């Protein structure tokens, strides 16, 4: 039992923080909604795992469940949009990895612009945390939260599709929760923040459906798995 506890504590530290950085980066770079929502789901699990260091386990589980429900809402929305668009000819489909279409297109300049933005955010955070001194929030929590917020803000600026904006917004909210939950772990705020997360997912899902309905169904250049 003691060995399990030590292993769990270890996973809630550095590995979880690295996972949060990687999932936020994945959601920003990819345009495949399945890969993006998978990364978002993993992100919520890692946020809950990390919060076990500063809040009760029950609180962390509630946050994970709220995140899972938010991802499920977005998944149903994305599936509905994909079904309405219908299957496209095989020649329009991009490279596939593990059965998923992995499309890296993302804005006028595509992936190079996004990689440059990632480098700039990383340099800004390294500069900012060179003199970090705020004991109530551990440095690794703060770094992961600022990274998630930075990737989310970039996603809002560079993403035009609602189904790409949705993970960006939820990433920003999750980053804020990662920091604030340890400062104020009251049950009332846990419930309120979970409700905000679900409300944001519902709102973004509605906007995605409305945006898809306003578009012409036979616009060129769309790929299966890319919304």
pLDDT tier, 6 (very low <50, low <70, confident <90, very high otherwise): low
pLDDT tier, 191 (very low <50, low <70, confident <90, very high otherwise): confident
pLDDT digits (tens, 9 = 90+) for 110-156: 677 888 889 999 998 888 887 777 777 888 888 999 999 999 999 88
Domain ranges across the chain: 2-214
pLDDT digits (tens, 9 = 90+) for 203-216: 999 998 888 887 64
In this prediction the pTM is 0.81
Nearest-angstrom CA–CA distance, 169 and 212 = 19
Asked whether the predicted pLDDT for residue 91 surpasses 50, the reply is no
Q: Which residues contact 63 (CB under 8 A, 6 or more apart)?
A: 44, 47, 48, 51, 177, 181, 190, 193, 194
């Amino acid at each position: 039992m003691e060995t399990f506890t030590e292993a769990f504590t270890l996973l809630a530290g550095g590995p979880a923080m690295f996972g949060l950085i990687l999932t936020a980066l994945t959601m920003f770079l990819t345009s495949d909604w399945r890969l993006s929502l998978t990364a978002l789901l993993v992100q919520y699990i890692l946020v809950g795992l990390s919060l076990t260091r500063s809040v009760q386990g029950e609180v962390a589980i509630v946050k994970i469940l709220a995140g899972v429900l938010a991802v499920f809402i977005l998944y149903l929305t994305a599936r509905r949009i994909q079904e309405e668009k219908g299957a496209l000819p095989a020649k329009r489909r991009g490279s596939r990895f593990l059965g998923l279409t992995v499309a890296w297109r993302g804005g006028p300049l595509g992936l190079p612009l996004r990689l440059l933005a990632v480098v700039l955010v990383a340099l800004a955070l390294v500069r900012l945390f060179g003199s970090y001194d705020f004991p109530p929030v551990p440095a690794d929590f703060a770094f992961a939260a600022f990274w998630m917020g930075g990737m989310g803000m970039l996603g809002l600026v560079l993403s035009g599709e609602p189904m790409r904006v949705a993970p960006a917004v939820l990433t920003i909210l999750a980053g804020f929760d990662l920091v604030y939950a340890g400062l104020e772990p009251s049950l009332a705020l846990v419930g309120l923040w979970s409700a905000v997360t679900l409300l944001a997912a519902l709102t973004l899902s509605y906007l995605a459906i409305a945006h898809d309905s306003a578009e012409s169904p036979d616009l060129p250049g769309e790929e299966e798995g890319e919304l």
